[in-house]
Amino acid sequence: MNITTPSQNIRTDLAIERVNFAKAELIRGVKQEKTVENHVSVTRIVIPDPSVAKEIGKPPGTYFTLEPTRFQTVPEHFEEEVEVLAKKLRELLPASVEQVLVVGLGNHNITPDALGPKTVTYTMATRHLIALREMGIPIGASVCAAAPGVLGQTGMESAEMIKSICRELHPDAVIAVDALAAGTPERLGSTVQLSDTGISPGSGVLNKRKELSRATLGAEVISIGVPTVVDLYSAAKNGEDGGQGSVMMVTPREIDVVIEHAAKLIGFGINRALHPGLSVEDIAGLVS
């Protein structure tokens, strides 16, 4: 979760909100394109200029904002939404990926922060499944999955644990899944953000931990997240002086349903992206 600097108005991890709230002169170098794919609204934002990135409060890179069926309800087009997420994830991953580490960040005991660990339960770990490949099942990348918990549970920074795993496995890419903070209530449980800029766990709730990035892990880091909390002060001020007040994070009443549906969509999307030879139906049978 990414924190604002004092010059920014809202606390949010979402690039689309940062850009929408930024002054017009600050977004001249930002490319923004909106499309609709399989009933899913997709906004692609590219922040190429480090100076503009500093003003907006998001690192340079590519961000996809997906707006699928709201996670408070049963999705009507689940398979189509999985395909869109998988397609966008493939666009962010390196061209050649043989080994991937999927990391579920967060605390499984706190529901709004449980998205990462829950997603790991829907992720196919295939590094050890040599027999499946020998049987002709179209397994793609060699995938490892981990939910390292949080500092208060383990006494270790999640970044320290992930760095150790990367040092041992040398993955081509790390996919980090984490709950995000939004600046407006409308984004809660209704948005998925993917980016190729890495991630700083916990910072959206003013608990910033060590970052996960190519610089720290030696591998490309793709982040995926869903906003599960909003800063009440930022929401009330609607972006005006939102960085100055006390912090009170609020979450939807149906947060348990949001986490379940969001984790399943992200997990299945990761599986489709890394194992394109498997259908959504195949994946459902393998992760059940």
pLDDT at 257: 96
pLDDT at 190: 94
Biggest alpha carbon–alpha carbon distance for the chain: 60
Query: Does residue 6 fall inside a structural domain?
Result: no
Q: Comparing 143 with 56, which gets the higher pLDDT?
A: 143
b (16+ CB within 10 A) / e for 150-186 = bbeeeeeebbeebbebbeebebbbbbbbbbbbbbbee
Query: Does residue 7 fall inside a structural domain?
Result: no
CATH number for the domain including 174? 3.40.50.1450
Alpha-carbon distance of 252 to 228, in angstroms, equals: 7
Query: Does residue 5 fall inside a structural domain?
Result: no
pLDDT at 208: 58
What is the CB neighbour count within 10 angstroms for residue 252?
20
Residue 40 has pLDDT above 50, yes or no: yes
Q: Comparing 204 with 210, which gets the higher pLDDT?
A: 210
Residue 26 has pLDDT above 80, yes or no: no
Query: Does residue 3 fall inside a structural domain?
Result: no
Query: Does residue 9 fall inside a structural domain?
Result: no
CA dihedral of residues 96, 37, 259, 144 (deg, nearest 10): -10
Structural domain span for residue 234:
15-287
Residue 205 has pLDDT above 60, yes or no: no
Residue 182 has pLDDT above 90, yes or no: yes
HSE-CB of 84 using CA atoms within 13 angstroms: 24
Q: Can you give the pTM of this predicted structure?
A: 0.88
Query: Does residue 218 fall inside a structural domain?
Result: yes
Confidence of residue 53 (pLDDT cuts 50, 70, 90): confident
Query: Does residue 145 fall inside a structural domain?
Result: yes
pLDDT tens readout for residues 259-268: 999 999 999 9
CA distances from 64 to 86, 90, 104, 237 (A): 12, 12, 19, 26
pLDDT at 102: 98
Question: How many domains does the chain divide into?
Answer: 1
Query: Does residue 242 fall inside a structural domain?
Result: yes
Confidence of residue 137 (pLDDT cuts 50, 70, 90): confident
- Between the two ends of the chain, the Cα-to-Cα distance in Å is 30
pLDDT tens readout for residues 69-127: 999 888 889 999 999 999 999 999 998 889 999 999 999 999 999 999 999 999 999 98
